Structure 1
Amino acid sequence: MAKRELVATPRLATGVEGLDALLGGGLPDRRLTLLYGGTGVGKTVLALEILVNSAREGLPGVAVGFEEGPDELVENHVSFDWGLAETVDDKIHLMAARVEDEFYNAGAFDISGLLAAIEAKVKQTGARWVLIDGLDALLGTLGDRVAAMRELFRLKHWLTGCGVAVIMTAKLDHPDTTGGTHFRDMPYVADCVIKLSNVAHKRTFARTLRVVKLRGGQSSSAEMPFVIRSSGVLVAERENYPLTAKVFDERLGTGLDRLDTMLRGGLIRGNSVLVSGPPGAAKTSLAACFAREMAERGERVLYVSFDEAGDQIVEDLLSVGIDLRPYVGSGLLQIHGILAGATSAEAHYIDIHHAIREFAPAHIVVDPISALVKAGGLEMAVDVSDRLLDLAKASGTTFYVTALSSSRTPGSDMESHLANIVDVWIGVSYRVDEGERNRALSVIKARGINHSNQIRELTLDDSGPSLADVYIASGEMLMGSARLREEQDAAARRRSEQHRYERDRQRVENEIADTSEQIATLTRKLDQQRVDLEQLERHAQDHLEQRVQDRGRLLRSRGADANDRRFSDEWPS
């Protein structure tokens, strides 16, 4: 007897972002998949999106609705961008299968006729998918559990001969909460079971999805959040990144030259950066300077702003000389304004992750990331921030976040947690002195950078944020008016020293001029004396020569002895 060759169950991709990763490739082909959950969790939306995505890949489908007719299905989902209306009648064929009231609890209804109609439509259209939406409405017509099991197995066996993948949806909060009713058997019959839930988090609800069962393959059993947006269903992925990251040595400017100097040349590409401080300490201004600096380099920046609209941020930043409009207009800078408390932190993560996939930025700014605490508590906010940081590290994306500082116990807030894991931590604060509140900035931590340990005054004016010169008096750094007074005093001292220098320089220059004149006079006198001496020497020589001539004439006239010393030609001493 020949040994039977075993082949793994083939998968059909759903095209739903994040879902195929959880399923290990997609839903099982020619098998029965059950999507169950409470009311309003998104069962029908998810199932229809799978059909539309598959139809676009050349795999037509048939959708059978027990609660909504064809027109209602299209009308109720026309707002989604995946375009159900465009594929209906061409690649997706809708069928109505409402169960009449007289069948309820009659116990005599079976699905043979329905399956025959579906099979005929499958053969006619070449469909590879069949959606049975609202299966619980069908099972509710049956009087007992045995009848329900019979019809479920009839559906399952029909699959084998028809060669299609079937998705069923059913309102079922949990199979074990329905006692001895026939609804509890639905997950046991299906080959793949996906549970959808709507979990309360403080004032918001978070949708979650879990692959409860998947025969013939491996899948993630983690309960992952998902959101429903106009683009469709987005399922979070829990990326298991190794403790490695892309390493760069390229330096990036922060947007403030003096801060770059404190960082010995700026940030390192791919760094994670935290700017923390109290409200109004210029955290957003610093983040905007970095975003502008990167956009000026021609690099894409995704700016996520919690609790403030993107247009409002752009307008507000104009007051401090930061104009982001050219970069928003060019498409290099995308600003997403998000209401933090509108949904869960997990849902925010999904939206941000989706935006990253769509935009592929080189740099991500989240301002402030501490707002995630309002969307599900500290624990969930910490988890989401960690996953965003891991995502950025794995892709070599610079992750620049701001956070509100807290005076609570260290380690009990977002700032304390993020400070331990980021590469660069910049602290901004206030200092109250002489009736003034002034801003201060310091680089608290910078991995791989021999950064400055100075505390600098951070100023804001029409030209944007900047760092003031450092003035120390009696061991204290001067800020605000005290610094301005010291600057004025220092300027006055410099002017006084300049005046004293100019005066002394003029005096010495005058003395040099006098001395030079004296030297010139003496030089002229010396030259004259040398001329006089030369004249004397010439006169003496001429006199001597004349005497010699005179003596010669005298000797010749007298016939005297030539050696007569009285007539010597030497100059008398």
Structure 2
Amino acid sequence: MPEFLATSRMPTGVEGLDALLGGGLPDQRLTLLYGGTGVGKTVLALEVLVNNAKAGRPGIVVGFEEGPEELIENHVSFDWGLAEAADTNIHLMAARVEDEFRDVGAFDISGLLASIEAKIKQTAARWVLIDGLDALLGTLGDRVAAMRELFRLKHWLTDCGVAVIMTAKLDDHDSTGTTHFRDMPYVADCVIRLQNAAHKRTFARTLRVVKLRGGQSSSAEMPFVIRSSGVLVAERENYPLKAKVFDEQIGSGIERLDTMLRGGLIRGNSVLISGPPGAAKTSLAACFAREMAEAGERVLYISFDEAGEQIVEDLQSVSINLRPHVDSGLLKMQGVLAGATSAEAHYIDIHHAIREFAPHHVIVDPISALVKSGGLEMAVDVSDRLLDLAKATGITFYVTALSSAQAQASDMESHLANIVDVWIGVDYCIGEGERNRALSVIKARGINHSNQIRELTLDDNGPGLADVYIASGQMLMGSARLREEQEFELRLRDEQQAHERDRRRVEAGITQTQEQIATLTNQLDKQRLELEQLEHQAQAEVRSRDHDRRRLLHSRGADANDHRFSDEPSR
């Protein structure tokens, strides 16, 4: 039995496409890129050739709709450098089909293939791009003739040993595409269909590997975008359920919010700030961005429907200065229009920005704007994939969402609230003729968080949280709180004044009593002295009488102990 070798692959260098193809396009095989007008067939094919040319695999471009100069001019705005490659490893051949050469009858491409083969030998090319093959086959005006030339191309390819990419304007729903050129996908070894489908008010480009002989590929229809860097194809990541787990706490940017979270957010968690317009969601997100940038960590800030520079400027009014961090490169502000493209395209751009910038934290403000880019279902799918990406890579995913009475916005908030790790709600408390902001931590997985509702203030010192103030069983904010505090101060002052009066009265009584005590003490001392004097006087009289008695007895010659002469009565 003969030994069969697996078809080797040639990497395209296009982000996401090689993953769909299982490694790249088949080498020495025929690849067809087909789709409607303006879907990006030529851009994708040229980028594949330029990427391979940079890797040392030269290529040849044969264009039937654009001349060499026109081809370079139309694609010079891309960063992958077609003009530079055209001077070295990309060789352009003029083969434009003009209108006057159509329907010329019998015709074959043998001469064209001979010219290409000579160029291959001259340049050692590994790739050949035949751009606009349908324009050439259209000159034949016959399906059988077109089929014959396609097989001629395929057999020639086998002999030359190069990889060929051909592009064609074919549409699955176009009658021309389903009759005259419908055999093109059958002849090719690899078929990739590109579409530009309408979604609400936007168009979304999608790509699907319809066929790949000799290998396995993903059959999923994936969105792609065309940017200055080239074609970016979304990848359907299959992240494991076991994501990176952290126990390190990081600051939210507001000290008292960290207290409510018992130390702060957990690195790598997903955080949702939801609330109505003007409730300070962006200010809270900016405080987090500033906190992380000050810690030397990279932050990617995606702002929908507002320029990043405008956000930086507006935040100055509440003393949030992001300018130093933008200038240092730690904070990247990227503003995009939500309705300009599909939600899938936004996902590709964000994914690409994450790969390029490698941030520690990503902020999307507001992620609910994705609803405008293709509806709720697509917005939910994209938000889930962004969350999965963040979990798998250990990125802290910090998003804001608009709370609204509109069904789709409300559904988007509810969906996000179910899947994020931390949900912080901001809202308005209306009363006393004013609107005050309130903040509460509704949910925080793994954190024994506070259940209090605190007043959220915005002043010259930036966002802050006031202490909880309860009166008569109600939480008071704004003017109501100020009035209650003033009334409390008045009551406290009255109580202090009453206390002062009572203190003075008691002190006066004490002073009076002390004076009375001093007077009585003085009288007591005098009485004691008088008593003492009387005692002394009495004792002196006794001594005097005793002395007189002794002297009298002595004069009579009697004994002093003789009681007959004593003053004491005889018994």
Aligned to 1:184, what secondary structure does the other structure show? coil
Verify the 8 A CA contact 1:107 1:147 in the aligned structure 2: no
Residues 120 and 484 of structure 1: is their aligned pair in 2 closer, same or farther, counting only changes over 3 Å?
same
Residues 501 and 56 of structure 1: is their aligned pair in 2 closer, same or farther, counting only changes over 3 Å?
farther
Q: Which residue of 1 aligns with 2:422?
A: 424
Q: CA RMSD in A?
A: 3.8
Among 103, 127, 130, which residue is 2:128 paired with? 130
* Residue type at the aligned position of 2:115: A
Deviation readout 1:280-337 (Å, 9 max, x if unpaired): 1111111111111111111111111011111111111111111111111111111111
Among 156, 180, 183, which residue is 1:182 paired with? 180
Among 272, 275, 289, which residue is 1:274 paired with? 272
Unaligned runs of 5+ in 2: 519-571
Within-5 A mapping of 1:299-378 = 299-378=297-376
Aligned to 2:181, what secondary structure does the other structure show? helix
Aligned to 1:36, what secondary structure does the other structure show? strand
Aligned to 2:424, what secondary structure does the other structure show? strand
Q: How far off is 1:515 after superposition?
A: 12
In the aligned structure 2, how far is the partner of 1:55 from the partner of 1:116?
22
Within-5 A mapping of 1:33-182 = 33-99=31-97, 101=99, 103-174=101-172, 177-178=175-176, 181-182=179-180
Verify the 8 A CA contact 1:248 1:268 in the aligned structure 2: yes
In the aligned structure 2, how far is the partner of 1:225 from the partner of 1:498?
73
Residues 136 and 519 of structure 1: is their aligned pair in 2 closer, same or farther, counting only changes over 3 Å?
farther
Verify the 8 A CA contact 1:28 1:165 in the aligned structure 2: yes
Verify the 8 A CA contact 2:371 2:409 in the aligned structure 1: no
In the aligned structure 1, how far is the partner of 2:495 from the partner of 2:260?
31
The answer on 1:399 being equivalent to 2:397 is: yes
Q: Which residue of 1 aligns with 2:546?
A: none
Identity %: 83
Q: How far off is 1:489 after superposition?
A: 3.2
Deviation readout 1:407-437 (Å, 9 max, x if unpaired): 3569952101101111111111111111111
Unaligned runs of 5+ in 1: 521-573
The answer on 1:298 being equivalent to 2:296 is: yes
Verify the 8 A CA contact 2:371 2:408 in the aligned structure 1: no
Comparing 142-151 with 315-324, which one deviates more in the overlay?
142-151
Verify the 8 A CA contact 2:455 2:465 in the aligned structure 1: yes
Deviation readout 1:515-565 (Å, 9 max, x if unpaired): 999999xxxxxxxxxxxxxxxxxxxxxxxxxxxxxxxxxxxxxxxxxxxxx
Comparing 24-33 with 406-415, which one deviates more in the overlay?
406-415
Q: How far off is 1:455 after superposition?
A: 1.1
Verify the 8 A CA contact 1:304 1:336 in the aligned structure 2: yes
Verify the 8 A CA contact 2:312 2:323 in the aligned structure 1: yes
Q: Which residue of 1 aligns with 2:227?
A: 229
In the aligned structure 2, how far is the partner of 1:248 from the partner of 1:180?
55
The answer on 1:439 being equivalent to 2:437 is: yes
Verify the 8 A CA contact 2:292 2:299 in the aligned structure 1: yes
Aligned to 2:401, what secondary structure does the other structure show? strand
TM-score (norm 2): 0.88
Deviation readout 1:22-50 (Å, 9 max, x if unpaired): 11111111111000000000000000011
Residues 215 and 519 of structure 1: is their aligned pair in 2 closer, same or farther, counting only changes over 3 Å?
farther
TM-score (norm 1): 0.87
In the aligned structure 1, how far is the partner of 2:56 from the partner of 2:507?
96
Aligned length, in residue pairs:
566
Residues 82 and 179 of structure 1: is their aligned pair in 2 closer, same or farther, counting only changes over 3 Å?
closer
Aligned to 1:182, what secondary structure does the other structure show? coil
Comparing 153-162 with 326-335, which one deviates more in the overlay?
153-162
In the aligned structure 1, how far is the partner of 2:64 from the partner of 2:196?
23
Q: How far off is 1:99 after superposition?
A: 3.2
Residues 464 and 411 of structure 1: is their aligned pair in 2 closer, same or farther, counting only changes over 3 Å?
closer
Verify the 8 A CA contact 1:144 1:181 in the aligned structure 2: no
Q: How far off is 1:177 after superposition?
A: 4.2
Verify the 8 A CA contact 1:226 1:233 in the aligned structure 2: yes
* Residue type at the aligned position of 1:208: T
Q: Which residue of 2 aligns with 1:545?
A: none
Residues 248 and 511 of structure 1: is their aligned pair in 2 closer, same or farther, counting only changes over 3 Å?
farther
The answer on 1:487 being equivalent to 2:469 is: no
Among 426, 437, 453, which residue is 2:451 paired with? 453
In the aligned structure 2, how far is the partner of 1:89 from the partner of 1:102?
32
The answer on 1:249 being equivalent to 2:247 is: yes
In the aligned structure 1, how far is the partner of 2:282 from the partner of 2:151?
60
Residues 180 and 251 of structure 1: is their aligned pair in 2 closer, same or farther, counting only changes over 3 Å?
closer
